[in-house]
Amino acid sequence: MVNIEFYKKIQTTLQKSGDAQLVAVSKLKPVADIQDLYNLGQRDFGENYVQELSEKNPQLPDDIRWHFIGHLQSNKVKFIAPFVHLIHSVDSYKLLEAINKEAKKNKRVINCLLQIYIAEEDSKFGMDEKQATDLLEFYTANKSKFENIKICGIMGMATFTDDETLIRKEYQKLNAIFHIFQTAYFLGDNDFSVLSMGMTDDFHIAIKEGSTMVRIGRALFGNR
Ligand SMILES: *Cc1c(COP(=O)(O)O)cnc(C)c1O
């Protein structure tokens, strides 16, 4: 069941805040729910699992933009490479190389975000600032090897907590890292423009702290 009320509300909120984009996170939700939200005009959907996404994709309209937001193993990139719009969860050279290779096979350029680890808990995937910096150094020095990917920004998740001060601090940190990378590696490159942060419980904070893309699941589709 889609929460139409919330869908309308979040769109107004996003417009007021300067047009951050909404990715509707549909993991573990049926194709019918995705179709319902599609019919209301939503085109960007987020999924976490390769197999689930591969099964859903052919059952839904071609103009859906699929965002892959879960942990991605290099050997599974091939299953989503023909159609994925944006991979939010790049966390290693190895994965970046695998995405480039599969994108090339499909004669595509695949958009990617680097997943940055900002939370205090250590159960989440991603790179710290140093690891991401190393990756960007390597990428910049070997750009001709990466003709089939485009790095469009970064993604991060805050600590799972009620402590809004902590969440705000983490999102401020992510925003700061985004601007450091933009200045150091993507000056004059308009494609590096995505700061993907904010979920059902913290999107208000994320938007205030400069998010350009929120990934919202439960508020739209109900609890999983
Ligand atoms: C599941 C998930 C979301 C959406 O979370 P909700 O709390 O349902 O809004 C956002 N981002 C990532 C990376 C996720 O795994």
Distances (CA, A) of 195 to 30, 88, 155: 28, 10, 6
The CB density around residue 185, as the number of other CB atoms within 10 Å, is 15
Whole-angstrom distance, CA of residue 51 vs CA of residue 55: 6
Of all helices (H) and strands (E), which one includes residue 86?
strand 86-90
Whole-angstrom distance, CA of residue 111 vs CA of residue 113: 7
Model confidence pLDDT, tens digit, residues 19-41:
799 999 999 999 999 999 999 99
Task: Specify the pLDDT at position 18.
Answer: 83
Question: Do the strands 110-117 and 86-90 form a parallel or antiparallel pair, or are they unpaired?
Answer: parallel
Q: Per residue in 112-150, is it b (16+ CB within 10 Å) or e — as a string? A: bbbbbbbbeeeebebbebebbbebbeebeeeeeebebbe
Low-confidence ranges of the chain (pLDDT < 50): none
Distance from Cα 25 to the centre of ligand 1, integer Å:
6
Ligand 1: nearest atom to the Cα of 25: 4
Q: Is the pTM of this model over 0.85?
A: yes
Whole-angstrom distance, CA of residue 111 vs CA of residue 61: 20
Whole-angstrom distance, CA of residue 154 vs CA of residue 175: 9
Closest CA to 209 of 177, 158, 169, 179: 169
Reported residue count of the chain is: 224
Tell me if 213 CB under 6 Å of ligand 1.
no
Task: Specify the pLDDT at position 120.
Answer: 74
Q: Which of 7, 21, 69 to mutate to test the pocket of ligand 1 (most atoms within 8 A of CB)?
A: 69
Distances (CA, A) of 53 to 95, 99, 101, 113: 18, 16, 20, 18
Task: Specify the pLDDT at position 124.
Answer: 60
Helix, strand, or coil (residue 72): coil
Task: Specify the pLDDT at position 9.
Answer: 96
Question: Please, which residues bridge with residue 110 across strands?
Answer: 149
State whether the Cα torsion 122-125-129-133 is positive or negative.
positive
Task: Specify the pLDDT at position 122.
Answer: 65
Tell me if 199 CB under 6 Å of ligand 1.
yes
The CB density around residue 15, as the number of other CB atoms within 10 Å, is 10
Q: Which of 3, 117, 199, 221 to mutate to test the pocket of ligand 1 (most atoms within 8 A of CB)?
A: 199
